[in-house]
Structure 1
Amino acid sequence: MYVVALLEGADGAWGVSVPDLDGCVAMGATGDEALRNAQESLREWIEARQAGGFDVPTQRELGALLADPEVREALAEGSTLARILVVEDVGRPVKANLSLDSGVLAAIDSTAHRLGITRSAMVEKLAKDRLSEYA
């Protein structure tokens, strides 16, 4: 799932807010850091909402967001739109067969061993950390 957010700030102080998810915000020293933090904030916001028995509000289409006076005002004041990937932990592992270069697999295994986690946990961590770059 992708969420459209507003990114604003200046050197040393950046913020992200999600117009359709009231109270869902994140901060960072750089815009990139704020966007990375927003990914985690979104996941936590959604999990808290669901744990409380509430639905997650449906995201508006881009046209509807751009028609929103508050969003238009934020954009006029220098905010930009950002698309953030939300990776939900559903707690249901699924087996997947992957073909990797043997050198890459050795590096994954070595790093996983050093961190005290399984190969699967290492691959999952790498994917979560990098997926947003391709959103």
Structure 2
Amino acid sequence: MVLIDTVKQVDNNSITTTLRVRDDALFSLPDKTVPAWVGIEYMAQTIAAFSGYHCLIHGKPIRLGLLLGTRHYQSEHASYPCGAMLYVHACKIIESSNDMCVFDSTIEIADTDTRQPIYSATAKINLLLPEDFNAFLNNKKLRSQENE
């Protein structure tokens, strides 16, 4: 399920993607809106694109990650109207040696008249990006079996 449309900008610490909210999208409602809580998934997919880009330019395999949660998700809107253009920005603020990282993320919706972005949602996204995802899962399974 890919919800973002385009990577607009990416650098060493940040990324901006865009997406058009569609009425035929997975989370669209009969009233032709998408709930604002889906914004967390937009942010997570933007961060996944950031991670994938950096793996590719460094000749490494794409790393699978886990969305651990979010802190302080705040949205000015209850939903996004279908047809709206969203700009999703994520900036890495912490990357620790234990494969955890935190991104500061925002969603802006373009004003239909001026086409200028209007602030819409913010969050801090917590992720785990293990170097070897399969080894990470196997280690978790072994620990789980030991505790039984």
TM range (shorter): 0.3 to 0.5
Greater share of residues in strand: 2
Greater share of residues in helix: 1
In the superposition, the TM-score normalised over structure 2's length comes to 0.31
